[in-house]
Structure 1
Amino acid sequence: MMSDRFARATAVHEVERTAERVLFDAEVHDGWDIGGNANGGYLLAIAGRAMATAIGRPPLTITSHYLRPAPAGPCQVDVRIVRSGRRLATATATLTLGGAITLQLVGTFGDQQEGGPEVLMEEPVDIPSYDECISRPQTAESPALMSNLACRMAPDDAGFGDGEPSGVAMVRGWFDLAAGEPIDAYAILLASDAFPPPVFNTAIPVAWVPTIELTVHVRGVPVPGPLRCRFRSRFIRNGLIDEDGEIWDSSGALVAQSRQLSLMPR
């Protein structure tokens, strides 16, 4: 029997609905965190599920601003429907934890429109197969999040874990859920923030890179199997780090792009 661990960890429960507002109860679960604070992609998946449920359409693009760290505990997602048209709907939302707003979001939702012209200026990221990539063993120091994921890193990008960064601010690898659940749009939101920051592969000594803002564009529905990912940082300056991500399914189809701005702690 297939597990529904991720679905349960991101479940939302409607408690109030009006024409313009839908309120949900949810819970930030243990085990999806890094150092006791929930992963940003995981939080985005909870809020994104609430927003999509309120509107009745899957996510196309969501932007989230992170206001404070999020330990495990009950939370609420307050969704405000801004506009609902024939093809697209737009909503804003707040995720509140412990009485304080933790995430502020805006998103557009609608079904994928297949067909039409297609121009791809880049090929899917070229990395070894899933079995040839590196899966680091879980230790007492490993982030709890990793126990729920089955991510594997390209060998050329995994050296920072042994004190040998590649010198290029890039991380490539495969994303999958440890419990074998199918990857849906909400798992794609999680995948956008599931790998170590690319800055780890530079000579800059950082151990913690908190997210300020994360935007994910969902570009397609993935076929079954793990996702092929590449995350790159191009400009690290003035205490801020950018990160661009591309996510492809196992058939080589582009299914998501992400853009993130993070803080470099002093």
Structure 2
Amino acid sequence: MQKRLFEFDTATALEPLDVVDGVHHFATRVHPGWDILGNANGGYLMALVGRAVSMATGRPDCVTITAHYLAPCPAGDARITVTPVRAGRRFATTTASLFLSDANGGEKEIIRVLATVGDLATDPGGPSAMQRTMPEIAPFDECLLMSDTSVNDFAHIHGRLATRGQSEDIAFRSGSPSGRATMRGWFAFPDGRPINSTALLLASDAFPPAVFNLSLPAAWVPTVELTVHVRAIPAPGPVACFFDTRFVQNGLLEEDGEMWDANGVLVAQSRQLALAPRG
């Protein structure tokens, strides 16, 4: 029986090239349609590099990954390098970079990553002490499908996803921002692809910025740095996502995120530093 090929897997496909002085090289392509105004979404780029890290190390889950974004990234052919730093019994650590090819045969470094990877399915675990549970959110079917909204003309990535937003948090589209820098919604794929740890990297940056609910323009918010901690493999079904911003200062903002699965288990956390939108 032929294995089903999902769109996200096609968009993050890799071709192993060679290993030179311990550095793993992969050919790939930054696909169109996973972008904001023609520039690839930061979570999509992180997922692309994260998949290369997992392939190079043989460990499927980026337990923690930090990406610094060095330049905007249109669609095109690219190369990823993964450099092992250390490998232990539980975790391995690497650095990685994605280079975008240009028409003159050169290339530009787009994103540089430091990641620690493991296998959460076999992880030995340890003590837990949760100080709170999943925040409240409207049921999946009561949230609005982002691909059906006008925001899709600006953020083309929503046409690739089945993300849904809580109605009051995406009312900025009709000129009625909530006044609270909060964004709540559900992450899912339209073709039913299961959400694994690589997909959580995409989910961390797959919603409109929470600051769109303040008196700021709904414009491009370029990511400077993004960190994701994957805490568990999600149960089947959509993942509830919560994002908020507390400080917009000197043209920069932070956005903190939490992702919870259908069983109310915390599966990922994120924080990013980004440039504030300008009209």
TM-score (norm 1): 0.96
- Pairing 1:12–2:17 present: no
Alignment of 1:74-89 (within 5 A): 74-89=77-92
Deviations 1:56-104 (A, max 9, x none): 1121111000011111111000110011111111000110002000001
In the alignment, residue 108 of structure 1 is paired with which amino acid? T
- Pairing 1:127–2:130 present: no
SS of the residue 1:180 aligns to: coil
1:258 is aligned to 270
Deviations 1:133-178 (A, max 9, x none): 1124155724221111001111221211111011100000000012
Deviations 1:216-261 (A, max 9, x none): 0000000110000000101110110000000001111000000100
1:221 is aligned to 233
The offset of 1:116, in angstroms, is 2.9
CA distance in 2, matches of 1:66, 1:24: 19
Q: 1:102 aligns with which of 110, 125, 147?
A: 110
Please list every run of 5 or more consecutive structure 1 residues that lacks an aligned counterpart in the other structure.
Answer: none
Q: 2:174 aligns with which of 162, 166, 171?
A: 162
Among the aligned pairs, what percent are the same residue? 49
Alignment of 1:174-193 (within 5 A): 174-193=186-205
The offset of 1:3, in angstroms, is 4.7
CA distance in 1, matches of 2:96, 2:211: 30
SS of the residue 2:189 aligns to: coil
- Pairing 1:66–2:69 present: yes
In the alignment, residue 227 of structure 1 is paired with which amino acid? V
Contact 1:148 1:178 in 2 (8 A): yes
In the alignment, residue 119 of structure 1 is paired with which amino acid? A
Contact 1:125 1:228 in 2 (8 A): no
SS of the residue 1:131 aligns to: helix
TM-score (norm 2): 0.91
The offset of 1:106, in angstroms, is 0.4
Report the aligned-residue RMSD.
1.5
Say if 1:250 and 1:16 are closer, same or farther in 2 by CA, change over 3 A: same
1:153 is aligned to 165
The offset of 1:29, in angstroms, is 0.6
Contact 1:184 1:221 in 2 (8 A): yes
> Which aligned segments of 4 or more residues in structure 1 are displaced greater than 3 angstroms?
none
